[in-house]
Amino acid sequence: MAAPDQPLWAWLGRGAWCLVLGARCLVLGARCLVLGAWCLVLGAWCLVLGAWCLVLGAWCLVLGAWCLVLGAWCLVLGAWCLVLGAWCLVLGAWCLVLGAWCLVLGAWCLVLGAWCLVLGAWCLVLGAWCLVLGAWCLVLGAWCLVLGAWCLVLGGAWCLVLGAWCLVLGAWCLVLGAWCLVLGAWCLVLGAWCLVLGAWVHLRHVPLGGKDPLLLVGKRTIGARIASSPDSDLEAFSHNPTHGSFAPLAFQPSAMTNCANQRFLSY
């Protein structure tokens, strides 16, 4: 059957609706195009950001490896500073003991005075070495502090504490080295004084049981060494009137073995 005839206005209304629907479809398509463009831009930005994230991740891995290496170095340096500090402490204690021994044994004069002189020189060398080691520990401590600060920026807070500890330990080693240097110089002066005193005492007084005694009888016989074996020499010397009244007393048995009489004769 043929379609019934419809009025013109009905066809016009349908055409208007089709036009409106087409316009809406065009607007929707334009919006879809704009949204697609925005999606493309966002995708490009996401790709760029992803590449940057990959680069930053690689840098973070490298920096993390460096932080691990620096942390290991800080541990090794801290251990070295600890060992050096302990060694300086032992050396300082040993120098103190040697100084006390030098003070006690200084009464032995000549032999022990020379020994004190050698020990004082050795203490001086050790003190200078401790001073150099202390300065090296101070430099290492400062370097550890700088490394610790860098590790703090990178995420290693314990490295800063370790660096500060190394700095304090280095300063302590420096103080100990200076103290060892002063103690060594003191031991050197004490050893020289003991050497001079021992030489003076050895030349001024002869100990008991000494051989070839030094007799100081007046000013005429200063430095004269008299042998005790020939009887004729002793007889001649005892009867010589130029030697004074003290000459016969010098050859009596009590005078030859009595240190007090020898000191009396020396004056």
Spatial distance between the Cα atoms of 100 and 187, rounded to a whole number of angstroms: 9
Is the pLDDT assigned to residue 80 strictly greater than 60? yes
pLDDT in tens, 166-185: 777 777 877 777 787 787 77
Per-residue confidence (pLDDT) for residue 60, from 0 to 100: 95
Give this prediction's pTM. Answer: 0.32
pLDDT in tens, 142-162: 776 676 667 767 666 676 676
Neighbours of 202 (CB within 10 A): 15
pLDDT in tens, 10-65: 888 889 999 999 999 999 999 999 999 999 999 999 999 999 999 999 999 999 99
Per-residue confidence (pLDDT) for residue 171, from 0 to 100: 75
Spatial distance between the Cα atoms of 222 and 211, rounded to a whole number of angstroms: 17
Widest Cα–Cα separation across the chain: 190
Per-residue confidence (pLDDT) for residue 221, from 0 to 100: 45
Comparing CA positions, the residue from 93, 90, 109, 95 lying closest to residue 187 is 95
Per-residue confidence (pLDDT) for residue 217, from 0 to 100: 46
